[in-house]
Amino acid sequence: MTNAYGYLGPAGTFCHEALLTVPDLPGHLRPYPSVVAALDAVRKDQIDAALVPIENNIEGGVSATLDNLTYGETLMIRSEVLLPVEFNLYVRPGTALSDVTRIVTHPHAYAQCREWVQTNLPGATVSEGGSTAAGAAEIADPNSRYHATICSQAAGELHDLEAVATAIADNKQAVTRFILVTKPGPPPERTGADKTTLVVFLRDDEAGALLRMLEQFASRGVNLSRIESRPSRLVRGHYSFSIDAEGHINDHRVAGALKGLKRTSRDVIFLGSYPRANGFRPQVPEGQSDDSYHAAEAWLKDLRQR
Amino acid sequence: MTNAYGYLGPAGTFCHEALLTVPDLPGHLRPYPSVVAALDAVRKDQIDAALVPIENNIEGGVSATLDNLTYGETLMIRSEVLLPVEFNLYVRPGTALSDVTRIVTHPHAYAQCREWVQTNLPGATVSEGGSTAAGAAEIADPNSRYHATICSQAAGELHDLEAVATAIADNKQAVTRFILVTKPGPPPERTGADKTTLVVFLRDDEAGALLRMLEQFASRGVNLSRIESRPSRLVRGHYSFSIDAEGHINDHRVAGALKGLKRTSRDVIFLGSYPRANGFRPQVPEGQSDDSYHAAEAWLKDLRQR
Amino acid sequence: MTNAYGYLGPAGTFCHEALLTVPDLPGHLRPYPSVVAALDAVRKDQIDAALVPIENNIEGGVSATLDNLTYGETLMIRSEVLLPVEFNLYVRPGTALSDVTRIVTHPHAYAQCREWVQTNLPGATVSEGGSTAAGAAEIADPNSRYHATICSQAAGELHDLEAVATAIADNKQAVTRFILVTKPGPPPERTGADKTTLVVFLRDDEAGALLRMLEQFASRGVNLSRIESRPSRLVRGHYSFSIDAEGHINDHRVAGALKGLKRTSRDVIFLGSYPRANGFRPQVPEGQSDDSYHAAEAWLKDLRQR
Amino acid sequence: MTNAYGYLGPAGTFCHEALLTVPDLPGHLRPYPSVVAALDAVRKDQIDAALVPIENNIEGGVSATLDNLTYGETLMIRSEVLLPVEFNLYVRPGTALSDVTRIVTHPHAYAQCREWVQTNLPGATVSEGGSTAAGAAEIADPNSRYHATICSQAAGELHDLEAVATAIADNKQAVTRFILVTKPGPPPERTGADKTTLVVFLRDDEAGALLRMLEQFASRGVNLSRIESRPSRLVRGHYSFSIDAEGHINDHRVAGALKGLKRTSRDVIFLGSYPRANGFRPQVPEGQSDDSYHAAEAWLKDLRQR
């Protein structure tokens, strides 16, 4: 054990902020310049786990995460973190809102606060930085030619900046999702509010192939909370699907779907079963509970032996 | 053991003829006046097995068979017999074809030979009997006012009649199907060319319910060779389905479908797995063989334990 | 117009009884010895319509009806009749129930009353006749060696017999179904409580083919009230399906399903849209009404022209 | 007409490079700081069209594109551009590869070239810029403290830089996809190698809802080349799907799927039918061609009128 976790840096990114909400953190938290660098550090035992973005991240990295988990040496997702996306406008202490004419921030952060900026700072120019954290670092520099940055509270406080406007995102509901990844091992215990992440490679491309893949879930009452087609690298024209399904590998209905997919698809990569961050417990449909599975198994055994 | 089998009589019916093709017959073959009587005799241990019609029978009984197996005390199908439907025109020895003006036979037998009769005996009248065997018995009576009957070779020979025309059915390809039924027990061994008969009661009636039931078969590559909706006696408006599926309860894909149906339907009645009379061996689709099931099971076990 | 309807005779059958419930009957009702004879009489303009059994008929004929409508010259179903199956025990006037030791009836009629007979007339023997009507005619003969027959009220009254026991069927709920068939023409007007009968020939036999056929119904919210696989005569191993679907050819959702089947199947035979005998009006699912179809059509037209 | 197109800037981005491959470009090409700014400029008639990323973009913006097209005032996709992702290492003229110790580039660009950098410049530090184009601009500045940038040929040449290493991406096959967007209007003509982009909002979340949505495509033989679930902004817990389907709104099978989705889903947003950049012509399945649709329509009309 290294007593260290990694994340997509630099310090002050949303990913960093998300990591700070994880319970039982180790002594060391290390920023990495890219998702791939963070995941490889896990594989090389340089850190015990890495937190990386998997959905709707402001600062990108989602494709890198999906691709690296799919095609790299196997890792396993242990938990997820949902982070409400909240932006503030930060300045060096002493700067007034009315003084702000030059802003630096990540383009996606600006994209999410455009209406506010155009309404409240109509004359301001906006320059782009590589991350919101880098923008905050820039503003912290007394010699910077910029007056303000759009970033999270974490980044602003890290650099001792002062918020002159808060909650300036145009969409107040935006949420971004991160996953904590370790080397493979037994999955976390089932909580009843779990999620299973996997990648499925289809055998062929015809119109019904996706439908038949989804029947493996639907016939067992397993809902999907996310599905994305991904161009497969192995064979041009073949598609793979990145999927989050409700439930845990130790739920019979999920295990049944996994086995069904394994048999009928070109390949399946299991990336982990872990507690849902929102604690949502799905209603297991009639006939899909573990008890129903046990009863059907017993019925069949009885038929064979009577 | 009673050393006796029963069948839908009287002697000389197609059912009787079909029974004579069954290997290893016991010493006694008993006719019963109805399918229900024959099946109840099995239940009461008066006979070891009964052969009854299940599909396309000339002399009826199919509904009675399906209903009695569904709602009566459980029995099990052990084998099936396919019988080509061949009709001859039988007379008392000495009668010429040109003398025939009054025919007696079962209405369904006549229905299948109408074109021949209208072409070859345009002036003849046809009267109805309760079975083709009863028609043959009538002709055998020297005092009968009828000249000829339409029946199988078995019935004609049983009553020492003479065929004045053979193979007179309008459709030369017709086949009728019978099943040999015993008390429940372990199913016959798997041959690779097997059939499984069951009844499924759906939970509801909406347009997708039948579709979802069939997904339990299709997602495991199990073909159906027969499906019939049956009005369920238990609840008005609910439908059940009588089904023949390819494969054996000891095939993993069939066992999986049975368990899936058991979980997701109102009820499933298993009526037996037995060799197909036509010896047809289905091509098991990719990913649906027992080996594929074992491989998927091992893969899942490994995921849980790594 | 011939001012005549035909039915599966002889007079006094359940089919005859069912015909008597049809409104606006013509002057002549003619019995035919078989379903095929009755249907051919329609084709030859010898009668305007024929009533024939299509489901659960006591006296058979269902397979003949389905096959002849499928493979014969096209006809069209105009209406259906449901007949509760009620059996009485009829004797010649003056015979007491306690005198009855020899019964004659159709084997299926006996099969449906076995429990009553075994309980109430445990010593009686039962002989088989070609129809319940023929059994009634036999009893009406003062020289008959039989004492009683099991038949419908219609048959009993036709032959001036006396009922010594009524409602003796073991299952009081049984219903049998008949259809009134004419030459092809515009279908009867839509009532909102309609049924459409058709035959679908699949292109292939693999496990998903039936599923995909049913998707044409389910994706348009069209329930099936009956489905039966039928061995196709044309190509060995190919199956066709005889189907009753909810709704009328002039309902957009039914028309859509018919066209979808026509495109994706080997062939479709339309046998008619007609009012349901039980008057059941299906709840049209959200998005499947004619209004929804019109709205979607208008939406698409607008997309193409904006 | 403004005689101007916009793109996700600044000049030299991959989006800019992609735009330069579009035929018949207008006189002015304007960079926008964000996808949203570019799309809004189209809506305000400040430019005739905008090229924005929709899949696998190095410099982000994909989520912004999907969200803005879904929730903003309606726009329409007119064509797509596929751009192979090729990275070079650019320096100020005169700098040798061996002199490079400080690199500035967009983090995603670095992520895609990590192996090459670690192998060939093991001692170099990498700093992050807001885009690859911004990195190139930085290097072009003679006072810059950085030695090199990773960017496209377009960006390097734009700033008169010199390539000291070419084709340094770890994955040589990566492709990114952009779409050219205009105000709504009649779709481009059908070419036989077309794609249709749409967003579908489901009515509910249960396991079969996605399956039933896909049946609208599969039952008409329409393949999907991309599907992504998107968290819907309108109702928490409801999902929408961003979809690319094979074919053109003027193909009967695609029009049928669109209408079917419109009827059975909560909402459908049509974003355009346009030629596929790769020119791939799908094989239309049997029964799904326009001719098959016309034949089925004629058949139905005939049934109603005979």
pLDDT, one tens digit per residue, over B62-88 is 777 888 898 889 999 999 999 988 899
pLDDT for residue B60 = 62
A53: preceding bond cis by omega (within 30 degrees) = no
D64–A contact, CB cutoff 8 A: yes
Task: Look at phi and psi of residue B214 and say left if phi exceeds 0, alpha if psi is from -120 to 50, else beta.
Answer: alpha
Average pLDDT value for residue range B89-97? 95
Asked if A51 contacts A57 with a C-beta cutoff of 8 angstroms, the reply is no
Which of B288, B293, B300 minimises the CB distance to A258?
B300
Q: Is A201's pLDDT higher than 80? A: yes
Cβ-Cβ contacts under 8 Å for C79 (sequence gap 6 or more): C22, C179, C180, C188, C274, C275, C277
pLDDT at C58 (0 to 100): 64
* pLDDT computed for residue C237 by the predictor: 53
CB of A103 within 8 Å of a chain D CB? The answer is no
Task: With a cut of 60, say whether residue B138 has pLDDT above it.
Answer: yes
Chains near B with 3+ CB pairs less than 8 A apart are A, C, D
Please, are residues C55 and C73 in contact by the beta-carbon 8 Å criterion? no
List B residues 158-187 in contact with A (Cβ-Cβ < 8 A): 184-187
CB contact under 8 A, A300 and B215: no
Q: What is the pLDDT of residue B36?
A: 85
* pLDDT value of position B134: 86
With CA atoms as reference, the chain A residue closest to C207 would be: A212
Can you tell me the distance from the alpha carbon of D40 to that of D181, in angstroms, rounded to the nearest whole number? Answer: 11
Please, what are the domains in chain D? 88-165 (3.40.190.10), 186-306 (3.30.70.260)
Distance CA C91, CA A144 (A): 114
- According to DSSP, residue C116 is labeled H
In this prediction, residue C235 carries a pLDDT of: 46
pLDDT tens digits, A152-176:
888 999 999 999 999 998 877 778 8
pLDDT at A129 over 80: no
Residues of D within 8 A of B212 (CB-CB) are 208
How big is chain A, counted in residues? 306
Q: Which residues contact B180 (CB under 8 A, 6 or more apart)?
A: B5, B22, B49, B50, B51, B77, B78, B79, B80, B81
Query: Phi and psi (nearest 5°) for D184?
Result: -60, 155
Q: Quote the pLDDT of residue A232.
A: 59
Identify the pLDDT of residue B57: 65
Nearest to B8 by CA among B108, B169, B130: B130
Query: Given this model, what pLDDT does residue A107 score?
Result: 72
Percent of chain B at pLDDT > 90 equals: 61
Q: What residue in D sits closest to A175 (Cα-Cα)?
A: D231
Residues A99, A93 contacting (CB under 8 angstroms): no
pLDDT of the residue at C267: 93
- Positive or negative: CA dihedral D241, D244, D249, D255: negative
CB neighbours of C157 closer than 8 A, spacing ≥ 6? none
Nearest-Å Rg of the Cα atoms of chain B is 23
pLDDT band at B27 (very low <50, low <70, confident <90, very high): very high
Give the strand pairing for D194-201 and D267-275: antiparallel
Contact call for D270 and C295, based on CB within 8 A: no
Establish if D45 touches chain A: CB-CB under 8 angstroms: no
User: Model confidence over D79-117: pLDDT tens digits?
Assistant: 999 998 889 999 999 999 999 999 998 877 887 888 899
**What span, in angstroms and rounded, lies between the C-alpha atoms of D131 and A130?**
7
Residues facing A159 on adjacent strands: none
pTM recorded for the entire structure:
0.88
Looking at per-residue confidence, does A217 or D63 come out higher?
A217
Between B63, B131, B226, which is nearest C56 by CB? B63
Residues 186-245 of B with CB under 8 A from D: 208, 212
Structure tokens at A169: 């995102």
Residue C185: per-residue pLDDT: 92
> What are the tens digits of pLDDT across the range D252-291?
999 999 999 999 999 999 999 999 998 888 889 899 999 9
Residue with tokens 């489905």: C227
Chains contacting C (3 or more CB pairs within 8 Å): A, B, D
Comparing A130-139, A244-253, A293-302, B296-305, the range with the smallest average pLDDT is A130-139
Nearest chain C residue to B230 by CA distance is: C226
What is the token pair recorded at B6? Answer: 């029963």
Which residues in chain A touch residue B212, judged by CB atoms under 8 angstroms apart? 218-219
Pair A41, A47: CB distance under 8 Å: yes
pLDDT along chain C (306 residues), means of 10: 91 91 95 89 97 78 82 94 91 94 85 86 81 89 93 91 93 84 94 96 80 91 89 60 95 96 94 92 91 95 87
Q: For tokens 């952060």, what's the residue?
A: A109
pLDDT at res. B233: 53
Q: What is the reported pLDDT for A92?
A: 95
pLDDT band for A235, please (50, 70, 90 cuts): very low
What average pLDDT does range B174-183 have in this prediction? Answer: 91
Q: Which tokens sit at D83?
A: 């751009």
Predicted-complex ipTM score: 0.85
Q: What angle (nearest 5°) sits at the alpha carbon of residue D2, between those of residues C304 and D3?
A: 95
pLDDT bracket for residue A236 (50, 70, 90):
very low
Best mutation target among B204, B206, B211, B214 (most D Cβ atoms within 10 Å) is B211
Task: Please provide residue D305's backbone torsions phi and psi, each rounded to the nearest 5 degrees.
Answer: -110, -5
User: Does residue A122 sit at the B interface (CB-CB below 8 Å)?
Assistant: no
CB atoms under 10 Å from CB of A269, counted, come to 15
Residue spans of chain D under pLDDT 70: 57-61, 205-207, 232-238
